[in-house]
């Protein structure tokens, strides 16, 4: 799965930017990744609920909301109620992550849990049993266009093994620095869903970039 991050899109033309990856066939994104930042949990400030509500009406591609915010316990369910398909919160920010997952599912969304690059996976395995998606950050959250941190692939491999042996039931997603060069190692490690911002919206043809990334991931996974 490929999830273009609109963080690297032209916000003045957001509807058209999403449509550019909402065509048919291989050019179509599986999810649209929406980076919500609050200038507290991360230093940057981006977009929030009103933009998600508008996008939900303007596209049929499922929305994957990545909340890089403090107190997601309070704010995350609103994104599920707005029609997001998957809502991901940070384990470093949530007060009661098990309750957050329950609230998200009750509001009709899938629940995602994200780990910053330095956050160990092993400490949160029990919590993850309540979640549908594991988002492994491969850059420090806050900004697009950063370099991929290969050390996080050990967490991907562990998660892949736990999923394949039936000990965990999550989709394994990776976010940060994914491009044509880095996607292969992430795919080989066992990622299911790849977020890509600058590698999609930094090109002239975002739809074609989606197709190319998917092709490279598929080839690497089959090796």
Q: Which residues bind Zn ion (CB under 5 A)?
A: 35, 66, 175
CA distances from 135 to 25, 173, 203 (A): 25, 5, 24
Catalytic hit among 38, 64, 70, 175: 175
Q: How far apart are CA 12 and CA 17, in angstroms?
A: 9
Q: Which residues bind ligand DX5 (CB under 6 A)?
A: 5, 7-8, 33, 35, 66, 139, 141-146, 175-178, 195-199
* CB 33, min distance to Zn ion, A: 6
* CB 8, min distance to ligand DX5, A: 5
Reading the block at residue 5, the tokens are 């991050």
Q: How far apart are CA 136 and CA 117, in angstroms?
A: 7
CA 48 to chain centre: 16
CA distances from 47 to 68, 121, 171 (A): 11, 28, 25
Q: How far apart are CA 115 and CA 92, in angstroms?
A: 7
* CB 137, min distance to Zn ion, A: 8
Q: Are 172 and 147 in contact (CB under 8 A)?
A: no
Considering CB distances under 5 to 8 angstroms, the limit depending on partner class, which of Zn ion, ligand DX5, none binds residue 64?
none
Considering CB distances under 5 to 8 angstroms, the limit depending on partner class, which of Zn ion, ligand DX5, none binds residue 216?
none
Catalytic hit among 35, 38, 103, 192: 35
Residue 35: active-site member: yes
For Zn ion, the closer CB: 66 or 155:
66
Q: Are 173 and 191 in contact (CB under 8 A)?
A: yes
Considering CB distances under 5 to 8 angstroms, the limit depending on partner class, which of Zn ion, ligand DX5, none binds residue 139?
ligand DX5
Considering CB distances under 5 to 8 angstroms, the limit depending on partner class, which of Zn ion, ligand DX5, none binds residue 144?
ligand DX5
Q: How many CA atoms lie within 13 A of 178 on its CB side?
A: 35
* CB 19, min distance to ligand DX5, A: 19
For ligand DX5, the closer CB: 6 or 162:
6
For Zn ion, the closer CB: 35 or 38:
35
Catalytic machinery residues: 35, 175
């Amino acid at each position: 799965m490929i999830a273009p991050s609109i963080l690297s899109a032209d916000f003045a033309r957001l509807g058209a930017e999403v449509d550019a990856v909402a065509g048919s066939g291989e050019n179509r994104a599986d999810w649209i990744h929406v980076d919500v930042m609050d200038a507290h949990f991360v230093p940057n400030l981006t977009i929030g609920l009103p933009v998600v509500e508008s996008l939900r009406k303007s596209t049929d591609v499922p929305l994957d909301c990545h909340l890089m915010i403090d107190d997601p316990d309070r704010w995350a369910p609103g994104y599920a109620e707005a029609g997001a398909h998957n809502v991901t919160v940070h384990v470093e920010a949530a007060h009661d992550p098990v309750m957050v997952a329950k609230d998200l599912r009750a509001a009709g969304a899938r629940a995602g849990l994200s780990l910053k690059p330095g956050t160990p996976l092993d400490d949160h395995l029990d919590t993850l049993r309540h979640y549908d998606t594991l988002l492994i950050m491969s850059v420090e959250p806050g900004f697009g266009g950063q370099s991929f941190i290969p050390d996080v692939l050990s967490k991907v491999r562990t998660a892949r093994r736990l999923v394949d042996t039936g000990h965990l039931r999550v989709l394994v997603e990776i976010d940060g620095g994914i491009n044509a060069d880095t996607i292969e190692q992430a795919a080989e490690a066992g990622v299911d869903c790849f977020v890509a911002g600058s590698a999609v919206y930094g090109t002239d043809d975002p739809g074609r970039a989606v197709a190319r990334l998917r092709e490279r991931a598929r080839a690497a996974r089959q090796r």
